[in-house]
Structure 1
Amino acid sequence: MLKKYGLEKCDDVDILMVGQSKLDEDPNRTLVDPTCYRGIVGSLMYLTASRPDLVFAVYMCARYQAKPTKKRLTTVKQVFRYLKGTLNMGLWYPRDTGFNLTTFADVDHAGCQDSRKRTSDIFTKAFARERFEFLIKRLGMQSITPEELKRLAESDEE
């Protein structure tokens, strides 16, 4: 995806969004090509199955698909910079391994400054670096090198 959208040479970052981040009003409202923007956001949505750390940022970007602006495109590029810095990060689902999915729900109707939607489970807001890194580990995400990934895939085939 980085290559497809011309971002393979961008600088990388190791945290997606800092705490209290929000996509506030874009005063310039410089529109960008909505077809390209939707393609980029759609590509990112595909990754959320193995990258739950992207859910909040991709959701925020997807909200502006009707009339995307240059400011929103800059935010999407920040997600790609994070991807470049965490290429080997993700959830590993070994074959024939059962796992239990646990969900939680709570109510915080006035949490989002933009939409007043709930913002208290971990996929609905940006966190400070320490909290973000703690939750990534708690989710079971790990960094796997391509060599290790190949070895794991081969051991699953046996």
Structure 2
Amino acid sequence: MCKEFERVMQEKFEMSAKGEMNFFLGLQVHQFEKGIFIYQTKYVGDILKRFQMEDSKPVGTPLAQNHGITPDGTGEHVEPSLYRAMIRSLMYLTASRPDIMYPTCLLARYQCNPKVSHMMAVKRIFHYLKGCLDTGLWYPKDDNFDLIAFSDYDHGGCKIDAKSISAGCLFFGKSCSHVAM
């Protein structure tokens, strides 16, 4: 059936089949007998090099505990275009790296008026990436998937404007145990 599809597509469109997919829109794809691994190791290396952080010291987490990231009205300004370029690069990386989604989106709030404290936090994400280049998403072939979601709402918890903030966590895949609510 796949060969027939390939033949029909080649008749209708100017294309050629190059075998298994290894790259797709900047994502590296590795197909195994037990599943598919999607990652962006090459892209991480490229952005570390682009922002001159390939020799940076790795850290264990993308965001410091009790980070205290706020608009920082008194801090020294940094170059907004560099800050935005770094955030843009990290946002693209979240396609295969949900581990950096929260800190990247948190720091994206300050693109209009970034301060040194914000830039230091962005650079921490890059230090974190340096230590885990090969992290990605694993999709096993097993068709027994569970979707488990957790959410946490903090009504009036934002320190800046007392707006409600929320967080969530989704687990998609085969679970070892179920959590009773």
TM-score (norm 1): 0.65
Q: Where in structure 2 are the equivalents of 1:52-91 lying within 5 Å? A: 52-91=98-137
State the alpha-carbon separation in 2 of the partners of residues 94 and 84 from structure 1: 26
Which of the two has greater strand per residue? 2
Q: Give the 3 Å change call, closer, same or farther, for CA 122–99 of structure 1 in structure 2.
A: closer
1:121 aligns to what? 168
Alpha-carbon shift at residue 122 of structure 1 (Å):
4.2
State the alpha-carbon separation in 2 of the partners of residues 12 and 2 from structure 1: 12
Q: Give the 3 Å change call, closer, same or farther, for CA 113–57 of structure 1 in structure 2.
A: same
For residue 29 of structure 1, give the secondary structure of its aligned residue in structure 2: coil
1:5 aligns to what? 51
Work out the percentage of aligned pairs sharing the same amino acid.
Answer: 38
| Structure 1 gap segments, 5+ residues each | 124-137, 141-158
Do the aligned residues in 2 keep the contact of 1:29 with 1:70 (CA within 8 Å)?
yes
Q: Give the 3 Å change call, closer, same or farther, for CA 97–139 of structure 1 in structure 2.
A: closer
Structure 1 runs (4+) deviating above 3 angstroms are 93-107, 114-117
For residue 113 of structure 1, give the secondary structure of its aligned residue in structure 2: coil
How many corresponding residue pairs?
Answer: 126
Q: Give the 3 Å change call, closer, same or farther, for CA 89–122 of structure 1 in structure 2.
A: same
Report Cα offsets for 1:86-109 as digits up to 9, x if no partner.
111121346897956554555322
Counterpart code for 1:118? I
- Please identify the structure whose Cα radius of gyration is greater: 2
TM-score (norm 2): 0.58
Give the superposed CA RMSD.
2.8
Q: Give the 3 Å change call, closer, same or farther, for CA 2–27 of structure 1 in structure 2.
A: same
